[in-house]
Chain A
Amino acid sequence: MECRVLSIQSHVVRGYVGNKSASFPLQVLGFEVDSINSVQFSNHTGYSHWKGQVLTADELHVLYEGIKLNNVHHYDYVLTGYTRDTSFLEMVVDIVQELKRANPNLVYVCDPVLGDHGSMYVPQNLYPVYKNKVVPVADIITPNQFEAELLTGKNISTEKDAVEVMDLLHAMGPDTVVITSSDLPPRLGDRFLVSLGSQRHVRPDGSRTTERVRIEVPKVDAVFVGTGDLFAAMLLAWTHHYPNDLKTACEKTFSVMHHVIRRTISYAHELAGPGRRPSPPQLELRMVQSKADIEDPAIVTEATLIS
């Protein structure tokens, strides 16, 4: 497989978020991963302390210029995630647009990280940039419920609402939308959460069709960091292998997440000891230990087609 991804995300010295979370699994699956590190921090910001440096929009541009001058700015995928800086995000948009001119088949996988559980955790002025500039050039987006509601201005209370919101997101640009988590009531009980996906296809005869899926995912009693970055990377990989089968792509992606998370939580509890809550360092994803699951995930979640 010859498939090159440009991933523009954070780098942490220790742990698995941003590029650290995305690169290894994609490489293990045979993707060539070029990575621009938007920051270099000692560790993610959920630890007691964190220190490091950020890349400016200018510096990002300089790195891209180097790639361009060598005539190697040809990518099959671009992958982006957590950003805090509007000028950086706008530079990313310019780069994506140029890369799409170089390769019109380029697929931009975008995690529109804005917030969760009802509140934004990035500066508010990123919202119009995502809405008006980023999402329109995205081909695959992975918002959570809050981000999906924010981007469309519509609340999700029922599955029907979710379907409408995903259709609104399609209308903004991306043909593939996965709402990574929602607080819709799961059919399998309260130990699960509901995720949804929607993919627009054009049939050979030119007519359009939409595949919609609903996935019930086992809940985990812990706060993980970097799982969203792993999710977007694995959705990239599995939609690449199943471009017209969102159901299978989602089953594989959610299953990988499940294996990595379960391995991580077992290990974290072992380290912390009985009755103790694991710390952020102890909860770092067990990424290298999950290589076999990443390569060939046993399917443990079920997606059902919905209309």
Chain B
Amino acid sequence: MRTAVMECRVLSIQSHVVRGYVGNKSATFPLQVLGFEVDSINSVQFSNHTGYAHWKGQVLTAEELNVLYEGIKLNKVNHYDYILTGYSRDTSFLETVVDIIKELKKANPSLVYVCDPVMGDLGAMYVPENLLPIYKNKVVPLAEILTPNQFEAELLTGRKISTEDDAIKVMDLLHEMGPDTVVLTSTDLPSKRGDQFLVALGSQKIRKPDGTSSSQKICLDIPKVDAVFVGTGDLFAAMLLAWTHHHPNDLKTACEKTVSVMHHVIKRTITYANGVAGPGNKPSPAQLELRMVQSKADIENPAIVLEAKVLQKSLDQKR
């Protein structure tokens, strides 16, 4: 008996690094391993990520991005099921991405745009400030799935998060801006499991045929890791794409799988990095590169290592 082969095509517009796993390097292999066709536009080509002592390379201009898209369009192969974007530093590039997404949505109205609105963390922006209005007014309204951290969620909604209730309100505000699925990838809310854990939350709006909508809100306690990783956010967004694809109305399961994959990759990476660095030495950025190819089995079939808690099912009588 032949099982049906999944036909699902993703357009991922992210950075390329020669060495290591960020941007497209972080997203592509795991998605391919899960059977997705990944078309990738490299927004930059750098030797490595910018956390190393040195980095060198070239950036793609908005014009060059448009040229590449033109090539795809001329061949009439501009049909995608998903778009995935992440870290960007250039407003005109981001605006061209928006134009491309709008066109791709005209070509396929069912297209799902997964957007990591990368702007900063821990209270500070690490992209140019003029990207915020573009994300807020043009990008987020087009997104179906959004993966902000706490800082980015606060920035986009203009609302601070001090309690779980705040987080719920912020996710609802983000739903109103566009995306039906929002995951707050990390917050500094206190975890009931203690200070070795961080709290992540998710909210998925489910529209019923009768016009009403409800939302499933979940919360996860994620074990903290004592290291700075780069590329994990990109892997997260890619895996959330994959697992919401397989569990489109079950954010709880999609998040459990996504966070579990992250856990396995990070554990393997930190073990390896500590091994290479040697006892008492802090691993370097090069040593902390994600152990991506070594984690293939976990990516394909992640053992679930945590359970998401369903917070509430709220009924909004919105039409």
Contacting pair A65 B47 (CB below 8 A)? yes
In the assembled complex, A11 has its CB within 8 A of some CB on chain B: yes
Interface of B is mostly: mixed
A32 touches B75 (CB 8 A): no
Task: Knowing A27-B29, A37-B16, A289-B5 are in contact, say whether A66-B74 is a contact too (CB < 8 A).
Answer: no
With A28-B33, A30-B293, A291-B33 as known contacts, state yes or no: A35 contacts B71, CB within 8 Å.
Answer: no
Q: Of all chain B residues, which has the CB nearest A71?
A: B286
Q: Smallest Cβ distance from A14 to chain B, in angstroms? A: 5
Per-position contact with A for B60-75: 1 when CB-CB < 8 Å, else 0?
Answer: 1000100111111011
Cβ distance A65 to chain B, nearest Cβ, rounded Å = 6
Q: Is B48 interfacial (CB 8 A cutoff)? A: yes
Whether B40 is near chain A, meaning CB under 8 Å from some CB there, is yes
Q: Give A37-77 interface residues, CB cut-off 8 Å to B.
A: 37, 40-43, 47-53, 55, 59, 62-67, 69-70, 72
Taking A53-B67, A67-B47, A70-B54 as given, write out 10 further A-B residue pairs in contact, using a Cβ cutoff of 8 Å, ordered by the A residue number.
A30-B293, A49-B74, A50-B71, A51-B70, A52-B71, A55-B45, A67-B18, A70-B47, A70-B48, A72-B286
The yes or no answer to A31 lying at the interface (CB within 8 A) is yes
Q: In the complex, which range does the number of interface residues on chain A fall in?
A: 35 or more
Chain A neighbourhood of B45, CB < 8 A:
36-37, 40, 55, 63
Give min CB distance, A53 to chain B, whole Å. 6
Whether A42 contacts B68 by the Cβ 8 Å rule is: yes
The residue of chain B having its C-beta at the shortest distance from the C-beta of A32 within the complex is B293
- Considering the complex, which residues of chain B in the window 106-123 have a beta carbon less than 8 Å from any beta carbon of chain A? none
A238 interface residue, CB < 8 Å from B? no
Q: Enumerate chain B residues within 8 angstroms of A48, measured Cβ to Cβ.
A: 74-75
Q: Say yes or no: A13 contacts B19, CB within 8 Å.
A: no
A51 touches B67 (CB 8 A): yes
Are B19 and A67 interface neighbours, CB within 8 A? yes
The residues of A that contact B29 with a CB separation of less than 8 Å are: 23-24, 27
Interface size class of B (residues with CB under 8 A): 35 or more
Q: Is there an interface contact between A42 and B70, defined as CB atoms closer than 8 Å?
A: yes
Residues of B close to A30: CB separation below 8 A? 293-294, 296
- The CA-CA distance from A163 to B53 in the complex, in Å, is 50
Contact B293 A31 (CB under 8 A): yes
Q: Is the CB of A34 within 8 A of B18?
A: yes
Cβ-based interface call for B126 (8 A): no
Chain A residue with the shortest CB-CB distance to B9? A14
Shortest Cβ distance from A52 into chain B, in angstroms?
6
Which residues from B are CB-within-8-Å of A243? none
Q: Are A72 and B72 CB-contacts (below 8 A) given A13-B41, A14-B39?
A: no
